């Protein structure tokens, strides 16, 4: 099975493999309306072979935005250092979305796409001849630069090393047209686009036993597989979802900034700030968005009691 990239040049500009539905609102699309008023995720839910359809996962973009806002808190002129640190710690415990705090599990719920649509991330492949489904969790290892935080602090190389990177959502912050001129007096109409992207990073995930790629996977290694009849696959796989269960670790956010200058044959100027939640990924659950049935656990038996 050969997987081709969606476009290496477009990866810098528009992150073509991200979810376009977030461009207008900045909110990840909800797979089921019931999830909006659903019950909070708990690790105990994984002990069964079916997840509740009204389970409410964490919101990745809201979590990142909340942590970023707290990180920008400033010490008051008449506030002691101890009082400031206590105030900041209280904010981390009380001001995260959905009543979560930094000691909780953060379970993020994502749609799983077919490999023909995407070359990295959480994807599946179905072979109708063998009736086999393969599940993939494919992190990338791009060189992050640690630039882009609102306080203009560049993160250290030690923080940015050995990271598995998953990109999930993008959002256009602004778009404008302007006239540009080069040193030879040539003028063209330029479109300037500023975007934000949101994802998850983790120190190299030990139970993913394959060589990482920086941009896309040509011959990926599956993390789980199962047989599924064609009639069942036609109903289930379009609604396939993955629950990425994580713990948030310090530093809570990792940044990366990139830009592309305009050219005569490409009159577009782009700026992208990528914001990543820094986590330890405990495991990934592939499940049916229709019934909640769990199809695969990564690592194997993740969330089950030892005697199960």
Summarised one tens digit per residue, pLDDT across range 128-161 is 999 999 999 999 999 999 999 999 999 999 999 9
Residue 90's pLDDT is: 87
SS (H, E, C) the chain: CCCCCCCHHHHHHCCCCCECCHHHHCCCCCCCHHHHHCEECCHHHHHCCECCCCEECECHHHHHHHHHHHHCCCCCCCCCHHHHHHHHHHHHHHCCHHHCCCCCCEEEEEECEECCCCCCEEEEEEECCCCEEEEEEECECCCCCCCCCCCCCCCCHHHHCCEEEEEEEEEEEEEEEEEEECCCCCEEEEEEEEEEEEEEEEECCCCCCCCCECCCCCCCCCCEEEECCHHHHHHHHHHEEEEEEEEEEEEEEEEEEEEECCECCECEEEEEEEEEEEEEEEEEEEEECCCCEEEEEECCCCCCCCCC
Sign, Cα dihedral of 245, 250, 253, 256: negative
The answer to whether residue 5 scores a pLDDT higher than 50 is no
Mean pLDDT estimate for the chain: 86
pTM: 0.84
Record the tokens describing residue 115, joined without a space.
């490999």
| DSSP bridge partners of 155 | none
Query: Please, which pLDDT band fits residue 37 given cuts at 50, 70 and 90?
Result: low
Query: Please, which pLDDT band fits residue 262 given cuts at 50, 70 and 90?
Result: confident
Taking residues 41-61, what's their average pLDDT? 93
Does 299 sit behind a cis peptide bond, omega within 30 degrees of 0 on the bond before it? Answer: yes
Give the residue with greater pLDDT, 37 vs 210: 210
Q: CA 219, CA 116: separation in Å to the nearest integer?
A: 13
Q: Which residue has the tokens 């969606």?
A: 6
Cα 52-112-46 angle, rounded to 5 deg: 30
Residue 178's pLDDT is: 81
Summarised one tens digit per residue, pLDDT across range 200-244 is 999 999 999 999 999 989 889 999 999 999 999 999 999 999 999
């Amino acid at each position: 099975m050969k997987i081709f990239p969606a476009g290496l040049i477009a990866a810098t500009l528009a992150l073509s493999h991200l979810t376009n539905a977030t461009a207008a609102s900045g909110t990840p699309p909800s797979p089921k309306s019931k999830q909006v008023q659903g019950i909070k995720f708990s690790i105990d839910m994984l002990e069964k072979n079916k997840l509740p359809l009204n389970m409410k996962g964490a919101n990745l973009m809201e979590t990142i935005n909340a942590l970023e806002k707290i990180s920008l808190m400033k010490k008051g002129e008449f506030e002691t250092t101890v009082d400031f640190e206590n105030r900041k710690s209280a904010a981390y415990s009380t001001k995260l979305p959905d009543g979560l705090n930094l000691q909780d599990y953060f379970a993020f719920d994502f749609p799983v796409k077919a490999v023909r649509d995407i070359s990295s991330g959480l994807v599946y492949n179905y072979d109708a001849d063998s009736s086999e489904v393969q599940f993939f969790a494919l992190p990338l290892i791009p060189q992050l630069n640690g630039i882009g935080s609102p306080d203009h602090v560049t993160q250290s190389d030690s923080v940015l090393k050995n990271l598995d990177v998953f990109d999930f959502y993008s959002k256009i912050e602004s778009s404008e047209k302007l006239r540009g001129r080069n040193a030879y007096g040539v003028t063209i109409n330029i479109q300037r686009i500023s975007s934000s992207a949101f994802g998850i990073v983790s120190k190299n995930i030990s139970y993913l036993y394959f060589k990482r790629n920086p941009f896309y996977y040509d011959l990926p290694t599956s993390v789980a597989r199962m047989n599924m009849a064609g009639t069942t696959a036609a109903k289930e796989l379009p609604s396939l979802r993955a629950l990425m269960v994580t713990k948030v670790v310090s530093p809570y956010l990792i940044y990366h900034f990139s830009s592309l200058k305009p050219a005569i044959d490409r009159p577009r100027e782009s700026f992208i700030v990528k914001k990543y939640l820094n986590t330890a990924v405990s495991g990934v659950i592939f499940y049916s968005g229709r019934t909640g049935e769990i199809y695969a656990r990564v690592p194997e038996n993740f969330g089950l009691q030892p005697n199960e």
